[in-house]
């Protein structure tokens, strides 16, 4: 670690240094702010940043008794999550200057765990489909993905060791894959969404970006108020890894296929049992049902914005709202039922393996900032509410990151994180 700057270290490494008194929270935060100062004009990851507020928090943490592994760790917050120390504009001019009076639950939990809230990262409009101005830190001519664009880019560019994001389609896993970070989307509902701008209430999930699989138990513990040991059971000696090649496989580009094949070969050589795991027959139906549920709930969640400020809604988002308004409650409930059936069917198959290995993205990040990429390999897992992890694994033809996605059993974050740590060590 001696040849790396503090802003380049992962949460686990920083936690160890801080616990030993080998550095201070103020030093870590200053290193992050220095990196932001150098790179922000290119990456454009931040919606709101107040160095003095962040440094004041860091000094306070240095003066306090240590609260746990996140004490003094700088963390960024996606700008659809309310913060009392910074404005929250949800990625839309409708909320210009909006200042919440209270933190969202997840922010409060992080503060209670001793984390330092550095600032707010850019999001797509209302965490939906219209892109923001954030660029991919590996090449500013390419998208970082969305909707958690700023969070993924900030962690990938060594601006902060961790950042919060949310996922409704593929808004954590896909941008993490595009930007080359580790990230996790936990089981639906595990992390409170109180104070998070709703998009689709049956789908929205709070998760995080970081730099190592070992960081994930620490972050999820802070977000939930549990001990890190609750999410850290140790790596399985010879995990069973299912390869999922289902409908949508035609979207896989050569770089992703190569990364998956290389990962499977390396993991098999290291002792993992690699098995084929077919996805449910109703996979295609589930993808369509996911879209119906999302649009129906988006049209309700954004009713105020649509009725009172339609002129400020983008041409990208408007069709989702309009489609949602055409759906009847019966159609909505039928789509929800397909999700329930897919969850039950997949639950049985997931008992056959420790984790599923599947693409995090079709290929490397698309060129240009007008599209955040295709979430085809994220939507099914989001719909059935299971936990997912992405790990950076390879590079595409333009030198941009390509990641793999690991999927675990419902409510088994500990098992998924353990398998992810094993996989990370062997690829």
What is the layout of strands, in order, in the sheet containing 388-395? Answer: 46-49, 116-121, 74-78, 162-167, 205-210, 182-185, 388-395, 401-407, 355-359, 240-243, 273-276
Query: DSSP secondary-structure letter at 427?
Result: -
Catalytic residue among 15, 25, 147, 212: 147
Each residue's pLDDT tens digit in the chain (427 positions)? Answer: 456 899 999 999 999 999 999 999 999 999 999 999 999 999 999 999 999 999 999 999 999 999 999 999 999 999 999 999 999 999 999 999 999 999 999 999 999 999 999 999 999 999 999 999 999 999 999 999 999 999 999 999 999 999 999 999 999 999 999 999 999 999 999 999 999 999 999 999 999 999 999 999 999 999 999 999 999 887 677 899 999 886 678 899 999 999 999 999 999 999 999 999 987 778 889 999 999 999 999 999 999 999 999 999 999 999 999 999 999 999 999 999 999 999 999 999 999 999 999 999 999 999 999 999 999 999 999 999 999 999 999 999 999 999 999 999 999 999 999 999 999 999 9
Q: Which residue has the tokens 């200042």?
A: 99
- In the prediction, which pLDDT does 1 show? 46
DSSP 130: S
Known catalytic membership, residue 78: yes
Q: What 3-state DSSP class applies to 304?
A: helix
CA 290 – CA 298 distance, rounded (Å): 12
Count of alpha carbons within 13 Å of 138, Cβ hemisphere only? Answer: 25
CATH of 6-231 among 3.90.1300.10, 1.10.10.10, 1.10.260.40, 3.40.50.1100? 3.90.1300.10
d(CA 342, CA 155): 33
pTM (whole model) above 0.75: yes
Of 174, 181, 168, nearest in space to 219 by CA: 181
* Helices vs. strands in the chain: H and E counts, helices first: 14, 11
CA distance linking residue 79 with residue 221, whole number of Å = 22
pLDDT of residue 78: 99
Q: Does the annotation count 44 as an active-site position?
A: no
Cα–Cα dist 251/174, whole Å: 14
Strands 116-121 and 182-185: unpaired
Output the six-digit token pair for 170: 């593929």
Cβ atoms < 10 Å from Cβ of 1: 13
Q: Respond yes or no: is residue 105 known to be catalytic.
A: no
What pLDDT score does 256 carry? Answer: 96
Catalytic residue of the set 148, 171, 212, 244 = 171
Tell me, what DSSP letter sits at residue 225? T
Separation CA 392–CA 182 (nearest Å):
6
SS3 assignment for 136-188: ECCECCECCCCCCHHHHHHHHCCCCCEEEEEECCCCCHHHHHHHCCEEEECCC
Residue 94 is classified by DSSP as G
Q: Say how far apart CA 209 and CA 217 lie, in whole Å.
A: 12
Which ranges of 180-274 does DSSP label H, i.e. alpha helix?
A: 215-224, 254-269
Cβ within 8 Å of residue 282, ≥6 positions away: 338, 341, 342, 345
Catalytic residue among 15, 25, 44, 78: 78
For residue 109, the number of C-alpha atoms closer than 13 Å in the C-beta half-sphere is 23
Contact at 8 Å (CB) between 253 and 365? no
């Amino acid at each position: 670690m001696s040849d790396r700057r503090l802003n380049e270290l992962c949460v686990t490494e920083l936690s160890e240094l801080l616990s030993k008194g080998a550095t201070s929270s103020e030093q870590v935060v200053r290193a992050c702010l220095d990196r932001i100062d150098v790179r922000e004009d290119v990456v454009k990851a931040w919606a709101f940043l107040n160095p003095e507020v962040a440094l004041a928090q860091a000094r306070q943490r240095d003066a306090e008794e240590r609260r746990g592994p996140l004490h003094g760790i700088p963390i960024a917050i996606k700008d659809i999550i309310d913060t009392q120390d910074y404005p929250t504009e949800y990625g839309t001019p409708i909320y210009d200057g909006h200042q919440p009076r209270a933190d969202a639950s997840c922010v409060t939990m992080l503060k209670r765990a001793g984390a330092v809230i550095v600032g707010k990262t850019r999001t797509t409009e209302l965490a939906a489909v219209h892109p923001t101005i954030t660029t991919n830190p590996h090449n500013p001519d390419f998208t970082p993905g969305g909707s958690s664009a700023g969070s993924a880019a900030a962690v990938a560019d060594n601006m902060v060791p961790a950042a919060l994001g949310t996922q409704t389609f593929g808004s954590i896993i896909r941008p993490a894959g595009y930007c080359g970070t580790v990230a996790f989307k936990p089981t639906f509902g595990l992390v409170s969404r109180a104070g998070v701008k709703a998009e689709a209430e049956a789908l929205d999930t709070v998760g995080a970006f970081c730099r190592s699989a070992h960081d994930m138990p620490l972050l999820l513990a802070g977000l939930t108020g549990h001990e890190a040991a609750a999410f850290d059971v140790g790596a399985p000696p010879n995990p069973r890894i299912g390869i999922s090649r289902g409908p949508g496989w035609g979207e896989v580009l050569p770089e992703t296929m190569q990364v998956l094949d290389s990962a499977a070969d390396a993991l098999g050589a290291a002792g993992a049992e690699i098995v084929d795991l077919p996805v449910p027959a109703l996979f295609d139906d589930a993808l369509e049902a996911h879209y119906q549920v999302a649009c129906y709930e988006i049209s309700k969640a954004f009713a105020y914005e649509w009725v009172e400020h339609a002129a400020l809604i983008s041409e990208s988002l408007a069709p989702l709202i309009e489609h949602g308004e055409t759906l009847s409650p019966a159609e909505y409930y039928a789509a929800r039922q397909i999700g329930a059936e897919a969850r039950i069917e997949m639950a049985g198959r997931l008992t056959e393996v420790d984790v599923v290995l599947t693409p995090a993205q079709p290929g490397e990040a698309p060129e240009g900032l007008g599209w955040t990429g295709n979430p085809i390999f994220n939507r099914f897992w989001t719909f059935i509410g299971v936990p997912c992890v992405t790990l950076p694994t390879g590079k595409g033809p333009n030198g941009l990151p390509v990641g793999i996605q690991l999927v675990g059993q419902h409510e088994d974050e500990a098992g998924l994180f353990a398998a992810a740590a094993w996989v990370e060590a062997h690829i």
